[in-house]
Amino acid sequence: MTTIQLVAGELEPHPDVALVERVRGGDVSAYDTLVRKYERQLFRIAQHITQNREDAEDVMQDAFLKAYEKLEQFQGNSKFYTWLVRIAVNESLMRLRKRRTGKMVSIDEDIETDEGSVPRDLADWAPDPEQNYNQAELAEILRKTVQGLPQGFRVVFVLRDVEGLSTEETAETLGLSIPAVKSRLLRARLQLRERLSRYFRRNKGIQKGLPKKVL
């Protein structure tokens, strides 16, 4: 029996549920709609993890094909999108493993353990600092900055903050505990903030004065 998936706080089933049911009934055009809806997100996630455009293209295709093959295994008690993301994350990690000639790759690698670190660069940013760069420059800054994060932080940041998954969904997708997701998200956000400060801080001449003793 299929569990009916509900939108939080509402009695209407999530629209994806009806599409999935149509695909299960043999309607391929319903799958076309689901692919159109989520292909950009899956491509982005794959690109963030593999950091390689060709791999991201392959991962996106493979993830949708795998999801189609395994659609019978999809349980209506989780969101179709979250289920799809989990497949894409696993495909991306497999792709990385292949590139590294079989070396194990997990979202736990490169994780530092210094939990007590506090922000160092205290410079305030200019108002709307991104407006000091054109679109191409800004995209390059944002790419370089997020690529510099350890993998385990980057994936959590991308799923939570860029793709909008909840903490619980991110934990479920990555096989992590909720405290682990929260801890990584905080570290990721603070590291990105610090790295972006190099580009977005106010000019030194007009830098806002800050108290010396703050911690």
Residues that bind another protein (CB under 8 A): 28, 31-32, 35-36, 39-40, 43-44, 47-48, 56-57, 60-61, 64-65, 68-69, 116, 118-119, 122-125, 129-130, 135, 138-139, 142-143, 146, 157, 161-162, 182, 185-186, 189-190, 192-193, 196-197, 200, 208-211, 214-215
b/e 93-108 (16+ beta carbons within 10 angstroms → b): bebbeeeeeeeebebe
Report in angstroms how near the CB of residue 101 gets to another protein at its nearest: 26
Report the residue number, 97 or 125, with the smaller CB distance to another protein. Answer: 125
Q: How close are the terminal C-alpha atoms of the chain, in Å?
A: 56
Dihedral sign computed on CA atoms, order 119, 178, 10, 84: positive
Report in angstroms how near the CB of residue 210 gets to another protein at its nearest: 5
Report in angstroms how near the CB of residue 161 gets to another protein at its nearest: 5
CB within 8 Å of 215: residues ≥ 6 apart = 118
Report the residue number, 44 or 97, with the smaller CB distance to another protein. Answer: 44
Q: Nearest 5 degrees, angle CA 196-CA 106-CA 116?
A: 50
Reduced to 3 states (helix: H, G, I; strand: E, B; else coil), residue 201 is strand
Report the residue number, 103 or 143, with the smaller CB distance to another protein. Answer: 143
